[in-house]
Structure 1
Amino acid sequence: MTVLEFDGVAFDPLNAPQQTGAAQEQTDSAREQASSTLAPAAAAIENARPAGGIDPIAQIRAGVVAAHRSALSAQTALQRELWRRALRPAVTDAQPVHSAPEGAFKPLARTGRARLDRESLVQLANGAVSTVFGPAYLPDGVEAVARLAGTTPLVLTEVTGLELYGGAGKGRVTARFEGDARTAALQAAEVYALYTGMPLCLSGSLLTGGASESALGTISGTVELVVDSADLVPRPHVHATAFFGEGTEPIRVAVTVAEPQGADVGPGHAVAGLLLNEFHMAHLARGDQAIAMGPEFAPYTGVRATRLPTGGLLLVDRVRDFDGARGNLETASYTTEYDSPADSWYYADTANDSMPHFVYMETSLQAALLMGYYAGPTLTQPGTTLSLRNLGGTATVLRQVDLRDATIEQSSRLLSTTILPGSSLQTFDYTLSVDGEPFYRGETMFGYFSDQALGNQTGLDAGRYVPSWLAEHPEARPRVIDVAARRADQAARACSRRKLALIDRVEVVDEGGKYRAGYLHSLRAIDPADWFFARHFHLDPVIPGSLGVESVIHAVQEWMLDAGFADGMADPVFRIPRDIPFSWRYRGQFLPTDGSVELEAHIKSVHRGPRGATVVVDGSLWKPGLRIYELIDLAVEIADRKALP
């Protein structure tokens, strides 16, 4: 097992002037070693220092710290406006029929049934949901009580259409009925709640609801229910509009899944045998932290605090087991699960329907941070606002596997926790498996930082400005790959689209870069309304580090296509190569107010084989004036799907 260190020295997030004991000895030793190693450079800097004793490095560092603090203040002021905008309907490209829009409600169970006859509706009214929709609707630990028409006479006679992402993009039910129109609207919404498996996250729950007034009364005909919203917060619910034909007023309807009165729905109680499920994940992402994590976390509700991402970036569903205990911050192991349906938005937004690298990273890192947070490191510093940030790690693909419609099992271990003034650090290792067979393994470090600690960040280079290779070589004459134009060409192969359109152009210097094998550069403006800020994190928006990695991958993919690596392939696909360890370091974050993301990739090696080619790069990403991400041995493979075993 590799032990991850924080840049090899004791971490002092607040630049505290005093240290004592072992920590002081470790720091002194590190300083002595650094001093001897960097002595020539220090002498050169000293000789270059202007008269008057003004240290240019100190000036730069002070400027960087001031800029960080200013950005954090602007970020805080922007948070509420970002979330206000996020509530508006977004204008996006049309999604393929087979894919879920990013942020769409993810059902807790799935069925192939799209029509229901009268007999099936009677079975739903008798509570036999799993008989109608299948065994996935009666998992272990769930007491099935919810049923159709539990408070009204059954008036639906047939359901002619069930669509998960139909209508307004959030679901549709079409049914025939004989009886009261308001009752028909309510029961159509109840069918949708059962169809999406909402009662499965609260054992013993019932359906409750109501509909707006209507003059239609008792009639027979067809009702079309268009789902306006479906969510698990504050309780699982469906809000919809029912239409009865031209010239009639629509009926507004709401159905809620309610636990038995007085029932505990906190960790370990909502469903027998699970510590946390989809209901808790939704609350941790953007709801009541006391429900998600337990009453100790109640002070974090409604304020900036550690959270999971939300929407299409929430990539962990359940915590199956946990052998640790709250307050034990040294060791723990646990198993979580994530279901990856084939219609997930990220499959549709890649060129070849494969799982993008950022999902590998996010599903493993979210599982780690979830349980590290559950152990309670932030509870040791009450009253302090702490923001979570990933600091780095390593990961390796062990085998290549099709993950569409797979349940990914995440086995993680908390290795250590270090509590420091204004921050704390945690290290983990993790393994992802499908059907008991590992396919991805890695280690990572997370930090919880106060605003002051975040304000003191000085990037990867101690506050020094380190320019890109292109800026250091003004004589280079790059050629440009117009990614945006390629993406707009329906006949062209594009590596990403819609939500994963992370770059618009790539500058290429053939035989450039530090390895003289090729160099890639891209610059993208940050829009504070970019979709991922509303997802990562609630009240603490930053660009996910994994999407920074993904943007470098996209630059490499576009270069590979431009260089002809796909020529002659019947069905080229991009994959993550196996057995090539990849590592990353993050020493800062991209805020909505930062203006731009700059990236570069140095082609390190190119290997061609009988089935395709593999390219390995080293990369960096900058916010204006500061290099904050470093990527080592990031690998991309292109292969002909028809030639794969």
Structure 2
Amino acid sequence: MTILEFVGEPLDLAAPEPVRASGNPLRELRQAVAEAHISALRAQTALQLLTLGRRSAPRPSVTAAAEEGAFKPLARTDVTELDNAQLARLAAGDIAGVFGPAYDQQGANPDIRLPHQALTSAKLDRQCVTASYQGAYADAVAEAAQLFALYLGLHLCFADATLVTEGRIEGGGELALEFAAADLVPRPWVSLRAGAQEITVTVREKPGTPIGPERGGTVPWLGRKGALLSEFHMAHLARGDQGIAMGPEFAHYTGRKATRLPTGGLLLVDRVLDIRGERGKLDHASYETEYDSPADSWYYQDTANESMPNFVYMETSLQAALLIGYYLGPTLSTPDRTMSLRNLGGTATVLREVDLRDKTIHQSSELLSTTLLPGSSLQNFAYTLSTDGEPFYRGETMFGYFSDEALANQTGLDAGKSVPTWLDENPSATRRLDIEPSGKLTLLDHVDVVDGGGKYGQGYLHSVRRIDPADWFFARHFHLDPVIPGSLGVESVLQAMQAWLLDAGHDLHDAGFVVPVGDPFTWKYRGQFLPTDGECVLEAHIKEVRRGPGRVRVTADASLWKPGLRIYELIDAAIELRERGAQPW
């Protein structure tokens, strides 16, 4: 859905005509609003038309986006061409000296080094490696595959390991290997392909080398500079061996429904830097974690925002909290009972506007309290997100661990009563904004608007979306325990509000959406959307439209229903459209 589709008249974006009297005042108004937007679009190609619609053109500064779920390298470098001298340094084990400090392991991994028997030069990017060589083609291929494993930073997972190469590509001539796949489970590996032939390099720890926390939560040196736990452990917690991720006490959860981090493009915490607390002591622990947000992350391509979408703000902070809350062992007193983790709500405030592309987000979190209840337990957290040493997001949240029986008996926000939507109680004429699918973050099919409706009389938004059991996020959130992420429910409300704001027509130039600064947002969840629920119903009551120089901010209260139950409530959800360079409020 484009802005032109919002206003309801087909227009030529490339060659707009001036407004002419038509005898139809409504048409003239629509034409004037549309041409104001066309001017803005032509002035800057980066104005997003929503992930629920499509962009007019890609922002020239944005790196080509990776696919959702694509393998995320553990380190990144600007070095993409290697000469013979640099290859010789890799053969001496000087990986950080060639690729940069992100690859530094403080003297660990003495046997991780390139053979340097065949390659004379090489070129690398995320999708392939090409090289010149001397001697046997098969030897050069094996060396190039190991070079690519180092380029991805796979060696950073262990303190003492070797590279194991499997497969043999026969032939000769030009050496060009295409990236096929990579993963960190069960051990870090990458496969590359030449035509139909494939070669795989795996990083394997040496016998006796510790690769995870010890019993009781003590963490020996595991290989990632400055970190206790690395991307390797996050991947195992999400979908692998929980004994490797958390320690031997958690091994029995492997392969079972249990607490996990999300997977794929929804895994938004990378490393644990510090833990100040003891396993078994469930109050007043604090910890530091990190998440790298590369500019090519899939959500930058799919969002309407100038930078990171709201759901990533929420998810990266909440995942950091649940990770360590679980690490301290609240479920270990009943190890044979199935316990699922669910977020129950919180409040958060954006502290400043910041472009988070290619930034590392530092997450400082504190476990405030744990309350043990029959069939469940509750944990309260406070957190602050920072980048470049400056905070930009702060909040508090509550998580609950629930048995299958407790989850089956959830009664929603209204004590089990079926509460109608505002539209059900106030039948009104609506107009529909149709949403054109575009990307993974297309979370709505349409938005029905009641102008001047809702409990505040400023506008009412309503949408019904079919839940498809094959929806991509069920495979990500969580492994063996699929539910729709609450943060994506919030994102769907914000998308409806963005559609409404664009439809209203505001004469802003060189503009884009930002996550609003300074207004606390509160959410409450009392239920879960399952693959079998059939549909999700959303409503939002426009509460305030605030205008300033170069800015328009919209605030709303909202609710979401599963069949028969209202289960999400959002207070002061907000979006903002602002011109670049506009002064703060």
The percentage of counterpart residues that share the same residue type is 63
Which of 567, 570, 588 is equivalent to 2:509?
570
Q: Match for residue 271 of structure 2? A: 318
The residue number in structure 2 matching 1:555 is 496
* Matched residue, 1:423: 376
Aligned to 1:87: none
Q: What's 2:332 paired with?
A: 379
Question: What do residues 66-96 of structure 1 show as CA deviations (whole Å, max 9, x unaligned)?
Answer: xxxxxxxxxxxxxxxxxxxxxxxxxxx9x99
What is the distance in 1 between the residues matched to 2:169 and 2:355? 50
Cα deviation, residue 449, structure 1: 0.6
Q: CA deviation at 1:498?
A: 0.3
The amino acid across from 2:177 in the alignment is L
SS at structure 2 position matched to 1:309: coil
Q: What is the Cα deviation at residue 141 of structure 1?
A: 7.5
CA deviations on 1:419-473 (whole Å, 9 max, x unpaired) are: 1221111111111111222111111100011110001101111111111111112
Asked if 1:580 is matched to 2:533, the reply is no
- Structure 2 match to 1:543: 484
State the AA in 2 paired with 1:261: P
CA contact (8 A) 1:398 1:578 kept: yes
Q: Deviation per CA, 1:480-535, whole angstroms, max 9, x where unpaired?
A: 11121xx6xxxxxxxxx301111121100000000011000111111111111111
1:176, CA displacement in angstroms? 2.2
The equivalent position to 1:119 in structure 2, one of 60, 64, 85, is 85
Which of 458, 468, 473 pairs up with 2:411?
A: 458
Are residue 196 (structure 1) and residue 152 (structure 2) matched?
Answer: yes
Structure 1 counterpart SS, 2:174:
strand
Q: Residue 403 of structure 1: which of 332, 339, 356 is its match?
A: 356
Secondary structure, counterpart of 2:332 in structure 1: helix
RMSD across aligned C-alpha pairs, in angstroms? 1.8
1:163 maps onto 2:109 in alignment: no
Amino acid of the residue matched to residue 607 of structure 1?
A: R
Q: Any idea what SS the aligned residue of 1:500 has?
A: coil
Q: Hey, what's the Cα distance between the residues in 1 that align with 2:357 and 2:194?
A: 34
Deviation at 1:120, TM superposition (A): 1.9
Match of 1:500 in 2: 441
Residues 1:595 and 2:557 aligned together = no
Give the aligned partner of residue 304 of structure 1.
257
Measure, in 2, the Cα distance between the counterparts of 1:432 and 1:144.
Answer: 35
Tell me, yes or no, if structure 1 residue 366 matches structure 2 residue 319.
yes
The residue correspondences of 1:104-503 to structure 2 (distance < 5 A) are 104-140=70-106, 142-143=108-109, 145-149=111-115, 154-160=117-123, 162-164=124-126, 171-212=127-168, 214=170, 216=171, 219=172, 221-243=173-195, 250-267=196-213, 268-269=219-220, 270-271=222-223, 273-474=226-427, 476-484=428-436, 497-503=438-444
Q: Which amino acid aligns with 1:506?
A: V
Does residue 1:640 correspond to 2:583, yes or no? no
Q: 2: distance between equivalents of 1:141 and 1:355?
A: 36
Is the alpha carbon distance of 1:228 and 1:276 closer, same or farther for their aligned partners in structure 2, counting shifts above 3 Å?
same
**Do the aligned residues in 2 keep the contact of 1:185 with 1:211 (CA within 8 Å)?**
no
Letter in 1 for 2:535: S
Check 1:537–1:286 CA distance in 2 against 1; reply closer, same or farther (3 A cut). same
TM-score by length of 1: 0.78
Supply the AA of the counterpart residue of 2:95: V
| CA separation of 1:337 and 1:140: change in aligned 2, threshold 3 A | farther
CA contact (8 A) 1:600 1:620 kept: yes
Shift of 1:360: 0.4
- The secondary structure found in structure 1 opposite 2:82 is coil
> In the superposition, relative to structure 1, how do residues 643 and 361 fare at CA in structure 2: closer, same or farther (>3 Å)?
same
User: In the alignment, which residue of structure 2 is the partner of 1:72?
Assistant: none
Q: How far apart in 2 are the matches of 1:468 and 1:156?
A: 67
The TM-score, its normalising length taken from structure 2, stands at 0.86
Q: Is the 8 A contact 2:432 2:449 kept in 1?
A: yes
Q: Per-residue CA shift, 1:17-47, capped at 9, x if unaligned? A: xxxxxxxxxxxxxxxxxxxxxxxxxxxxxxx
Work out whether 1:534 is the aligned partner of 2:475. yes
1:283-313 CA-to-partner distances (Å, cap 9, x unmatched) read: 0000000000000001100111000001111
Q: Is the 8 A contact 2:305 2:515 kept in 1?
A: no
Structure 1 residue runs of 5 or longer lacking an equivalent are 1-92, 165-170, 244-249, 488-496
Q: Distance in 2 between matches of 1:104 and 1:213?
A: 25
Is structure 2 residue 566 aligned with structure 1 residue 627? yes
**Deviating runs (4+, > 6 A) in structure 1?**
none
- For each residue in 1:129-181, what CA deviation from the matched residue of structure 2 results, as whole angstroms up to 9, or x when unmatched? 122211221155754541112xxx62122213x221xxxxxx21122223323
> Separation in 2 of the partners of 1:142 and 1:585?
46
The separation in 1 between residues aligned to 2:511 and 2:521, in whole angstroms, is: 23
Shift of 1:644: 5.4
- Choose the corresponding residue for 1:519, options 429, 453, 460: 460
Separation of aligned partners in 1, 2:559 and 2:107 = 47
Contact 2:63-2:296 at 8 Å conserved across structures: no
Distance in 2, matches of 1:330 and 1:400, equals 33
Aligned residues: 518
For the 8 Å contact 1:469–1:513, the answer to whether it is kept is yes
Q: Which residue of 1 aligns with 2:21?
A: none
